[in-house]
Amino acid sequence: MSNLQKAFDKAKQQGRKAFIPFITAGDPTLEATEKFIYALDKAGSDIIEIGIPFSDPIADGPVIQRANIRALKNHVTLTKVFDMVATLRRTTDVPLVFLLYANTIHYYGIERFFEKCQETRIDGIIVPDLPFEEKEEFNVYAADKGVDVISLVAPTSKQRIKEIAAQAKGFLYCVSSMGVTGTRDTIQTDLKSMFETINAYCTIPTALGFGISNKEQAKVLKDHADGVIVGSAIVKLIEAYGEEAEMPLLRFAEELMEALS
């Protein structure tokens, strides 16, 4: 069982759903990112998702796009993020997942990338622009280094859900709404029907993401999946408070944790 699956099991044993916050590396600085991750860990986050800045983040809405721009202006690179994670690993064992785009891995070098993931104990990766049919290009290296390549299913996946869910690793990322990331007032997708299909074929934990932005939504949506992913709402807090976002993030994460109990 991977560390990611163990994190879901731990949350379940505590009588709650898993909480997975997302943060963009280097927004506003890598030093601040390190502090924010410690705060999210202190709040009890089960897994922390780290976004690697990219010039064309096609899956992300304006909030996370702006975070990418701020980080890139600070000359944040994958190498620098790996260095930050190596520092983090001196004091925290919280499972970490990278969200990044395929071109970043190719540019860094596929084999070298997964070797570095193993060295710094990155537990999984999410690659939004990686077609399911092309995952093997990364899987062959990832499996050897103990890294889970996390699959995504969307409301439009339909007949493909069976195949994707059956082969998923770590956890299955379930996209709640079509479009890009961002906070939403309501989720229009028929999640009940979607998860009936997913649960018929998926043997690993599921996490629901895209649009969950507050504790009220988390309370309503938590029953569908084994965990929830919250991104844009967290990035908004960082945008508002900058390097002083540590305590607001801690309070927000604690609220979400309570809502998931």
| Tens-place pLDDT, residues 17-48 | 999 999 999 999 999 999 999 999 999 999 99
Cis peptide before 95 (omega within 30 of 0): no
More confident residue, 174 or 182: 174
Statement: residue 100 has pLDDT above 50: yes
Beta strand 172-175 with 148-150 is unpaired
Statement: residue 180 has pLDDT above 50: no
pLDDT of residue 159: 78
Angle, alpha carbons 251-81-56 (nearest 5°): 90
pLDDT of residue 188: 52
Interatomic CA distance for residues 109 and 60, integer angstroms = 24
Please state the rounded mean pLDDT for residues 212-220: 80
pLDDT band at 260 (very low <50, low <70, confident <90, very high): very high
pLDDT of residue 189: 59
pLDDT of residue 183: 43
pLDDT of residue 56: 82
Contact 176, 152 (CB under 8 A): no
pLDDT of residue 132: 87
pLDDT of residue 221: 78
Contact 93, 4 (CB under 8 A): no
- pTM recorded for the entire structure: 0.93
Q: Annotated catalytic sites, by residue?
A: 49, 60
Average pLDDT of the chain to the nearest whole number: 90
